[in-house]
Amino acid sequence: MSPFAHLLHELRMRFGIRQGDLAELVGYEQSYVSALEVGIKGPPPPAFVNKLISALHLASHDQERLHAAVTASQRKLVIDVDAPQEVYHLVADLHQHLATLHPAQVRMIREVLSMREVLAEPVPEPVRRLKRRKKEEARM
């Protein structure tokens, strides 16, 4: 289930509103709201999201969650034409293995992607150790 579908269902349950009633409030067909909630349809257009926010009088934190869920529920990916070849290969590998990724692998990939801030920090120069001179034996 997409993040948007999950959140839409959560909001509907929290407000105790049926799909048909929600559809009427936002001015869409009940079948469309149902398709969104079960994830058959991709994320909705901004007009739907704005009507949903108005109809349910969503607080700012719920609005932020809703917009984040819409973004996270995008099904299509567009690669920038100027992206390096490695990016194309990465996306191809992900596409090939997406259906079989273990949740731990998904978490690891997401953790690696979040390391961008760490990688942006300058790498400290290693501390150079001074070499000891060999003691010369005293001549007699």
Model confidence pLDDT, tens digit, residues 93-125 = 999 999 999 999 999 999 988 887 777 777 677
The upper half-sphere exposure of residue 50, i.e. CA atoms within 13 Å in the direction of its Cβ, equals 3
CA-CA distance, 43 to 30, in Å (whole number)?
Answer: 16
For tokens 């299509």, what's the residue?
76
Higher-pLDDT residue of 138, 16: 16
- Among 51, 60, 56, 18, smallest CA distance to 9 is for 18
Q: Where are the domains of the chain?
A: 3-72, 85-120
Higher-pLDDT residue of 132, 82: 82
Measured from the Cβ of residue 117, the count of other Cβ atoms closer than 10 Å reads 7
CB 2, CB 39: distance < 8 Å: yes
Q: What is the mean pLDDT of the chain?
A: 88
pLDDT computed for residue 68 by the predictor: 95
CATH 1.10.260.40 fits 3-72, yes or no: yes
pLDDT computed for residue 123 by the predictor: 66
pLDDT at 137 over 70: no
The upper half-sphere exposure of residue 52, i.e. CA atoms within 13 Å in the direction of its Cβ, equals 28
* 139 — pLDDT class (breaks 50, 70, 90): low
